[in-house]
Every structure is written in C-alpha cells, then in structure tokens.
Chains A and B, each alone.
Chain A
C-alpha cells in the first residue's frame, strides 16, 4: 500500500441533532475512493472538514502526510475541489472567476483549462448565474483539474450531469489516475459511477462509517442472500448486515458470502452485492455488527 494522501482519524463534529462520530479512514495515493450514504449522513461535513471550512471537535486530518491546519496553504495548493453547491460569485463571468482563482495556483495550466472549457462547452463570457446546475459543476471541475492537483476532493461531482458527460468524465478520471498517479475522493448518489471507477468505497450512515473497504474485498466477501426466515437464522454470526423483507421472501446483506453459501445451501440464492445493494440494505431491518 502506498503512502496515504489522506488520513482521517477519530474525527468528531456535531451540529444540533447531527453528529459525526469518530470517523476514521485513509486513502492511499493513486486511488479513487467513493463516499456514499443517505442524504444527511455526513458526507458533505467530512469534505468541509478536509477543506478546513469547519473545525473538528476532535480528531486529526493529514493530507500528504501534513496536518491540514498547520500547513493549510501548502496542502490546499495540491487539492482540486468541487462542492455540491458552487461557491462562486454568480454576478461574475466565468472568465473573471477563472482569473481570480487561477492566480493562486503555482501549477496553473491555462492551455489545459482552455481545452477543458472547450470539451465542456463552457460559455466563458457569460455570468455564472446564467448556467444550469450541471454547467456550474463542469466549470468547477475545469478549475479543479487545471492546476495539477495531486488530490481531487469532489462533493457530488456527477449530480445533474447527463449520462454522456458523466461517463466521459469518469473515463477522464481513470486516465488521470493511470497516467499521473492522482488520487480522488468523491461523494455520490449514483452507485453505478462508483462501480465504474472506485478502488475503495466508504459507506457512511448517521455520521458514522459503517464500512470502508477496497473494491476487491467488497466483491469477494459481500453478497445478498435471497431466501427465507429459516435461512436468516442460520447465517454465520456477525455476518448479517441488513435485511429487507418483501412479498416473496427476504434479502439479507452479508459480509461473508462463502459462509452464507455453506450455511444456507439449497435454501437460498447468494448473489454478489452491488454497491447499490450495500447502500440500500446496510443497517436495514435490524442488521447486526
């Protein structure tokens, strides 16, 4: 495993009735990690903490091996960011905004930005407020990608983008990773995007990490048992992660496919779990840990 570009330990933060509870995970350099979970689970809070937009109550964040507050300017020069709500001056033109942002990055590559603007069909002379949601995201992406960042921190970068752009963007991300060893942390609700490019997936629910694992570990060990109540009872202890009952029986999320196959035998079909299955079933109907 390569040196982690991002290492989060014991992160806590609370707002009113929401709390991030001891969040820890790390992303090794050169990989893509997807952050998934229900609305309001804490994905945006984690991203804001990484970007030092809010202060943690406990825990530490290390970026490229450095403390993210003590070395704020230094680490941020190596990060490209996209937020779910674009934080730009809506009265300013894209061109002016680009100029205002670009002067801060020593690695700014103007010709790359121009090329991205062309590929994304960005109307550079227009004001930001005239752009659709998807277009604003594309503009933020173009900014994030044009300064040779080593880590991209993206909060729902594909929301509002159509399938064509989305898939081309994901292809582009794969290219970035292959050719240049960049790393990406991105949150999304579109689990097929994760399936396309994520090497690691971190699942978050009610402010706590329920699972953070590599794609291989997930595809190898996690599955959905489609069976009946009897089957549920014989599953290996601790491997039952969520249950959904429906008219024809029940779906059980398991973290031990081999164990489930052995235990249920003919009584159930055990399918590999898609990322979507994990998000939808995790913690449902009294899963145990």
Chain B
C-alpha cells in the first residue's frame, strides 16, 4: 500500500473508434520516477491526457495530488510540468518573452531558476521560438516545466529527437529534481535505455491495457532472455517464453518468470541473460518472423 500517491488511476476506461483504454490502474508514489513504456498506439498519450483533464475517462477514477482532475483541472495543471513530443508555443515571441508570459500563469514561477536554465541549456534568449530546432524547443519546454515548482513532471516522448549528450543531462537533472523529495516524474519514452538509467517504477501499457506496473528492479529481476539449442525448446519451456525467435543459432526468447525457467532448465546449458527494458517491450510485442522483410523475392 502506497501511503502518499501523487498519481493514482483506478479502473480507467476510455474508448475511441478502433481503440480503447481498458481498466487502467496504477499508482505513482511521491518522490519517484515512473517510466511509461509500450508500442505506439498503446494508449500512453491518452493516459497522460486523462491526467491533465484533456480527456475524460468513461469509467474509473483518476486522482492527481489526491484531487479529481474533472473538478480541480486548473489547480492540477498549475502543479504539473508538462513536456511533450512536439511542443508549440507563442511562435513569434523570443525565448525570454515567452518564458515571462508562460510564467505569468503560474503562481510559483521562479524567474531566477528559469533564467539559469536558459543559460544552462544554451537557449538563445533573444531568438524567436519559431526559429528554434525541435531539440531546442524541447529544451525550452523543459526549462519552463522546471521553473514553476511543479510537483509532478509529465514527459510524453519528450526525449525523442534530443541528442544523447543532452538526454543524459536531462536525466541527471530529473534525478536531481526527485532527490529534493517533493517532485515526481512520469516519463514515457521509446528510448528505453533512458528509463533503464533513471526510472524507479515501470508501467508497461499494451493494446490499451496495463501489462504490468511495478518497480524497475522487479521487472529486471523477473525478466530474462533465454538462449539455447532448439532441442531444449519443449512445450513446457515455450509456455514460459514470449516472442521466441528461432534460427540456425538456436532460439532466443523472453521470460517473465526467470526463476521458473531456471528450475525448468536444471542441468541444461541454456544461457539466461538479463533483459533490458527494450528487450521486454520488443519480445512482448514482436509480430513474429524476427524482423521486417524489406526486400523483394528476386534477391
């Protein structure tokens, strides 16, 4: 039981034509970073929108800081720092002016912090936002999100398009923010190696449902990549594996029950390697066949 959740979803359902979120439940305790992973179209963005009251679920409840977004949308949004994939702002304003304008909406805006971040992120203060590259725009959005004392940072694919050096810097900063103890982070990313680095909890959304939501340590403990000879791959083992790839090298697959596989393989010389989050997403969501066939038949 988590005592002081900053974010709590219970049985959230929302349906669109051809897509639905079903029975989404998870909890993010205060002061931690949760990574949200899953394929495109799994429902991550819809979920983030429901937290901001930009989308209203049909069933279930969302609680942010213990409040209902339907009734306290404005207050919740003022306590959240939101950065998404392609941020748009007042395109004609300069970095400095846009910061000041956005800041005027937040009660806890800290101009000194903002200016410091602008310098640190090497943002040109007098350039108009429309002239900034994608990466620079994300930096700007992040600077704004970090300058109003947000208690929850929502980063929806915010790191896509950012270079590795800046991503690392951003991750360090996020770790720094939660070390202060008050803030929490919900971070969706396709670059799962970033989450390997900083996430405390992982929520895996697949086809509109929560596949699992638990601590990263547990995910990495229970999941493993199993590799071995084809002759080891009997029905019992197959049941424990998902996304099995076979080939001349033998087989490789992911298990969510590493302990059981170890027991089942007693004596056999299979290789059981630790799985990364990317492995977890990839092998769980594989379409079969191992890879895309990108060339014609007459090769």
> Are A and B close enough to touch in the complex, i.e. CB under 8 Å?
yes
The total of interchain contacts (Cβ-Cβ below 8 angstroms) comes to 124
Alpha-carbon distance between A1 and B87 when the two chains are bound, in angstroms: 45
Selected from A37, A84, A145, A167, the residue in CB contact (under 8 A) with B163 is A37
Supposing A38-B166, A276-B164 touch, asked if A172 and B40 sit within 8 A by C-beta, the answer is no
- Please classify the interface of chain A as helix (H, G, I), strand (E, B), loop, or mixed, using the class held by over half of its residues: helix
Segment of A50-58, A155-163, A210-218 in the binding face: A155-163
Asked if B292 contacts A38 (CB within 8 A), the reply is no
Q: Within 8 Å CB of B286, what residues of A?
A: 164, 168
Segment of B57-65, B72-80, B100-108, B185-193 in the binding face: B185-193
- Closest A residue to B44 by beta carbon equals A162
Asked if B281 contacts A189 (CB within 8 A), the reply is no
Question: Would you call B170 an interface residue if the criterion is a C-beta within 8 Å of the partner chain's C-beta atoms?
Answer: no
Give chain B nearest CB distance to A20 CB in angstroms: 16
Over the window 264-287 of chain A, the binary record of Cβ atoms lying under 8 Å from chain B Cβ atoms (1 yes, 0 no) is 000000000000100110000000
Question: Would you call B250 an interface residue if the criterion is a C-beta within 8 Å of the partner chain's C-beta atoms?
Answer: no
Alpha-carbon distance between A169 and B286 when the two chains are bound, in angstroms: 12
Alpha-carbon distance between A182 and B110 when the two chains are bound, in angstroms: 54
Selected from B86, B168, B285, B295, the residue in CB contact (under 8 A) with A133 is B86
Alpha-carbon distance between A233 and B268 when the two chains are bound, in angstroms: 49
Alpha-carbon distance between A119 and B282 when the two chains are bound, in angstroms: 16
Alpha-carbon distance between A127 and B167 when the two chains are bound, in angstroms: 33
Asked if A162 contacts B190 (CB within 8 A), the reply is yes
Question: Contact residue range for chain B?
Answer: 35 or more
Asked if B278 contacts A167 (CB within 8 A), the reply is yes
Question: Contact residue range for chain A?
Answer: 35 or more
Asked if B282 contacts A145 (CB within 8 A), the reply is no
Over the window 169-192 of chain B, the binary record of Cβ atoms lying under 8 Å from chain A Cβ atoms (1 yes, 0 no) is 000000000000000000000111
Segment of B47-55, B111-119, B154-162 in the binding face: B154-162
Selected from B160, B163, B193, B291, the residue in CB contact (under 8 A) with A38 is B163
Alpha-carbon distance between A282 and B299 when the two chains are bound, in angstroms: 41
Asked if A176 contacts B190 (CB within 8 A), the reply is no
Supposing A160-B85, A161-B40, A165-B39 touch, asked if A173 and B163 sit within 8 A by C-beta, the answer is no
Q: Within 8 Å CB of B40, what residues of A?
A: 132, 134-135, 160-162, 165
Q: Within 8 Å CB of A171, what residues of B?
A: 290-292
Asked if B39 contacts A133 (CB within 8 A), the reply is no
Asked if B190 contacts A166 (CB within 8 A), the reply is yes
Alpha-carbon distance between A159 and B168 when the two chains are bound, in angstroms: 17
Question: Would you call B2 an interface residue if the criterion is a C-beta within 8 Å of the partner chain's C-beta atoms?
Answer: no
Over the window 12-44 of chain A, the binary record of Cβ atoms lying under 8 Å from chain B Cβ atoms (1 yes, 0 no) is 000000000000000000000000111111000
Give chain B nearest CB distance to A142 CB in angstroms: 9
What are 5 A-B interface contacts by the 8 Å CB criterion?
A38-B165, A41-B163, A112-B296, A180-B295, A190-B191
Which residue numbers of B lie inside 8 Å of A, CB to CB?
37-41, 85-86, 133-136, 157, 160-168, 190-193, 278, 281-282, 285-287, 290-296, 299
